[in-house]
Structure 1
Amino acid sequence: MEIGVFSVSDITTDPTTGHTPSENERIKAEIAIARKVEEIGMDVFAIGEHHNRPFFSSSPTTTLAYIAAQTQHITLSTATTLITTNDPVKIAEDFAMLQHVSDGRADLVLGRGNTAPVYPWFGKNPQDSVELTIENYNLLRRLWDEDTVTWQGKHRTPLQNFTSTPRPLDDVAPFVWHGSIRTPQVAEIAAYYGDGFFANNIFWPKEHYQQLINLYRQRFEHYGHGRADQAYVGLGGQFYMARNSQDAVNEFRPYFDNAPVYGHGPTMEDFTDQTPLTVGSPQQVIEKTLSFQEFFGDYHRQLFLVDHAGLPLKTVLNQLDMFGELVLPELRAEYAKRKPSDHPEPPTHANLVAAHRAGIKSATARNEVPVPVDTPEESHA
């Protein structure tokens, strides 16, 4: 199990002090958080992609490349890379480059995004969202898996004998997670290619995500990548801790109540009951996180959102120190105890290279036919 942190890169006023950090403050804070993630022994740091205020992360690969130079061990990923509005050629180049500069410590989460105005900013139509997702990813896979690509599609200019450079490190493409909170076609794409499926289940009740994850698992097995329970699933989560649970509730409540994404909505108590958010003691964080397996089955990656809603950097770093001391060792021990003997290892670059050198065909090398646009009828339930 990989355990880490992701950020949506929001710039939010601290409701307890009235301070609004500058873009520079938040960017530098993100780098400090990534360094802390490595320091406490976590596995992954991921950051989202946004092109609108109040967010700052418009160029996540630039940020991750800088963090790569500041760290040695953590995997560097995205919380979302927009497959709909980014050119697949540029994605192929940027993430292969990130592989090289990080010595393989790079993967990515692809998603459609949730901000409709971004489409026309990049010359796209939001009504083409699912078509763009499928066409762009089919092309991206070919750019990584084939040295020379001749291609023609509907939504970008054709390619003739094109080679994406640099080539993927060790001839193994970055592992791809497909992120979705509502789109069954995305689960279908992930399953078809044998990629991972990341359910950023931080907003809606768990039952909603169970449907998408179960669909992905069923189709992963259908396409011959392994049993449904062996599929590569990642989950989101959130926590705010204090050694005394009531202190955590009192400290986090003003941030929750004023957060741009869920403030002025459900109560914090209702939200913690229905979603993965935990506000309480370290033991409560451990117990809530371990309960995710009951709903979603064995999975490979657990990422936590810790730096949102205006929380100051000092508080976030203190939260991570507490997590590293009191939570992380317990989670690691329990996950190791629960891991089935035939559960695949996390899809790190080293593991993918070992499989490649052993002559095992990559699960993502499926270029015979494009992924189907329509998913089975039952998937839309």
Structure 2
Amino acid sequence: MQFGIFTVGDVTTDPTTRTTPTEHERIKATVEIAKKADEVGLDVVAVGQHHNPPFVASAPTTTMAYIAAQTEHILLSTSTTLITTTDPVRIAEDYATLQHLTDGRMDLMLGRGNTGPVYPWFGKDIRDGIALAVENYALLRRLWTEDVVTWEGKFRTPLQSFTATPRPLDGIAPFVWHGSIRSPEIAEQAAYYGDGFFHNNIFWPMSHTKQMVALYRRRFEHYGHGSADQAIVGLGGQVFMRANSQDAVREFRPYFNEAPVYGHGLSLEDFSRETPLTVGSPQQVIERYAAMADHVGDYQRQLFLVDHAGLPLKTVLEQLDILGGEVVPELRKIAAARKPAHVPDAPTHAGRLAAAHTQQTEEVAR
């Protein structure tokens, strides 16, 4: 099972000091956070894509390539790549280039985003969101799997005998997760193609998450990709930890109360009860997240949001020390002990390349 972090690249004022990082500071901090995640042994770091203030994550492949050049092991991903408003030709070429630069140490999560105004900025209509996601991804897959593509659709100009360059590394397209919070059509899309489904459930009760993942698993099996429990699932999460749970709550409360994403609404206690947000000791986080599989089955990727709400860089790096040193090692043991042998590991380029070679060998033997 893969454990990691994701960021949305928000520039938020620290409510305890009233200081706001500059865009330069926030971008540089994102890199330092990723390097720290690699240092403490996490598996994945995912960066967002936004095109509006107060976010600075407008160029994920640039950021990912820069991080990859300064890390050794961690896999780079996105949270998310906007499949609705980014040209699929641009996605195909940008991420294939990144795949080569990282020697396959990357994948991507596709999503529609949560900012309505982005659609007209890129000449799209938000009412076409689902249709854009479906059509654009169908084209993206062809651009990665076919050397020459002739195509015509509704939302972009036709392609005549077009070849996206570079071609995917080793002939293996980047692995795709389809990220969604509330759209069953996206769960269906992930299942149809046999791709991963990432339910970023950070604002939702587990009952909703359970329903969405169950739908994806049923449809994955329906389309013949394997049994329902072999479907590739990822979840989001939010944590803030200190050795003493009272200290964690006391320190995090002002950030929660003022955060643009969930401040001025439910209390910290209510939000923590209803969503995956866990503010407390490392042991509380271990117990909470070890139980996630009881609701959704054994799954392949767990990402945590740790750098939001104006938290200073020093605090975020401390959170990563706790996550990598105390929490993730225990969660890995628990996940490994409970996972049935027939449930696949999280996809990696090396693993998928090996599987392709095995399949070719078997076909030749037949």
| TM-score, scaled relative to structure 1 | 0.94
The match for 1:357 is 357
Q: What is the match of residue 80 of structure 1?
A: 80
Structure 2 residue aligned with 1:22: 22
Please state how far the C-alpha of 1:272 moved relative to its aligned partner.
Answer: 0.7
Q: Which position in structure 2 is the counterpart of 1:93?
A: 93
Contact 1:206–1:275 (Cα < 8 Å) also in 2:
yes
Paired residue secondary structure (1:105):
coil
* C-alpha distance in structure 1 between counterparts of 2:237 and 2:360, whole Å: 33
- The CA deviation at 1:335 is 1.1
Matched with 1:50 is 50
* Equivalent position amino acid for 1:130 in 2: I
For the residues of structure 2 that align with 1:227 and 1:16, how far apart are their CA atoms? Answer: 50
For 2:335 and 2:291, locate their aligned partners in 1 and report how far apart those are by CA, in whole Å: 11
> Which amino acid is 2:309 matched to?
A
2:174 counterpart of 1:157: no
2:173 paired residue number: 173
Matching residue's letter, 1:208: H
CA deviation profile, 1:49-84 (whole Å, cap 9, x unmatched): 000111110000000000010011111000100000
1:1-381 correspondence to structure 2 within 5 Å: 1-359=1-359
Which residue identity is paired with 1:205? P
State the SS of the aligned residue for 2:4: strand
C-alpha distance in structure 2 between counterparts of 1:360 and 1:280, whole Å: 50
Is contact 1:271–1:277 with CA below 8 Å preserved after alignment? yes
Identity percentage of aligned residues:
68
- Measured in 2, the distance between the counterparts of 1:205 and 1:353 equals 37
Question: What letter corresponds to residue 29 of structure 1 in structure 2?
Answer: A
In structure 2, C-alpha distance between the alignment counterparts of 1:71 and 1:103, rounded to whole Å: 12
Cα distance in structure 1, aligned partners of 2:335 and 2:212 = 23
SS at match of 1:178: strand
Q: Which amino acid aligns with 1:6?
A: F
User: Which deviates more from structure 2 when the two are superposed, residues 206-215 or residues 16-25?
Assistant: 206-215
Aligned-pair distance for 1:360? 6.5
- Which position in structure 2 is the counterpart of 1:365? none
CA positional deviation for 1:208: 1.4
In 2, the alpha carbon distance for the partners of 1:217 and 1:333 equals 24
Separation in 2, partners of 1:240, 1:150: 50
1:177 is paired with a residue whose SS is strand
Paired letter, 1:50: H
Q: Is the 8 A contact 1:80 1:113 kept in 2?
A: yes
Secondary structure of 1:106's aligned partner: coil
Count of residues paired in the alignment: 361
The whole-number CA distance in structure 2 between the counterparts of 1:10 and 1:210 is 28
Distance 1:119 1:264 in 2: 28
1:180/1:345 Cα in 2 relative to 1: closer, same or farther (>3 Å)? Answer: same
Tell me by how many angstroms 1:325 deviates.
Answer: 1.6
Q: CA deviation at 1:181?
A: 0.7
Contact between 1:345 and 1:351, CA under 8 Å: does it hold in 2? no
Extract structure 1 runs of 4+ deviating beyond 6 A. Answer: none
Shift of 1:359: 2.0
Per-residue CA deviation, residues 310-361 of structure 1 (Å, 9 max, x unaligned), is 0000000011111222112111111111111111121111111111112279
Letter in 2 for 1:189: Q
Partners of 1:323 and 1:87 lie apart in 2 by 36
- Residue type of the alignment partner of 1:257: N
Distance 2:115 2:283 in 1: 36
What TM-score do the two structures reach when normalised by structure 2? 0.98
Q: Structure 1: which 5+ residue stretches go unaligned?
A: 362-381
CA contact (8 A) 1:244 1:281 kept: yes
SS of 2:359's partner is coil
Tell me, in whole angstroms, the C-alpha distance in 2 between the residues paired with 1:224 and 1:72. Answer: 36
* Deviation by residue 1:268-320 (Cα, 9 ceiling, x = unmatched): 00111111111000000100010111111110000000000000000000111
> Take 2:225 and 2:40, find their aligned partners in 1: how far apart are those partners?
34
- 1:339 counterpart letter in structure 2: K
Question: Which residue identity lines up with residue 13 of structure 2 in the other structure?
Answer: T
Q: Which residue identity does 1:85 align to in structure 2?
A: T
> Which residue type is aligned with residue 324 of structure 2?
G
Cα drift, residue 180 of structure 1: 0.5
More displaced stretch, 325-334 vs 257-266: 325-334
SS of equivalent to 2:294: helix
Unaligned 5+ runs, structure 2:
362-366
Q: CA deviation at 1:16?
A: 0.2
Distance (whole Å) between structure 2 residues aligned to residue 213 and residue 57 of structure 1: 28
Question: 1:238: Cα distance to partner?
Answer: 0.7
Structure 2 letter corresponding to 1:108:
L
> CA-to-partner distance for each residue in 1:127-171, whole Å, 9 max, x for gaps?
111111110000000000100000000110000000000000000
Equivalents in 2 of 1:345, 1:302: separation in Å? 13
Identify the residue that residue 376 of structure 1 maps to in structure 2: none
Considering only aligned residues, what root-mean-square deviation do their CA atoms show, in Å?
Answer: 0.9
For residue 335 of structure 1, what is the amino acid of its counterpart?
A: A
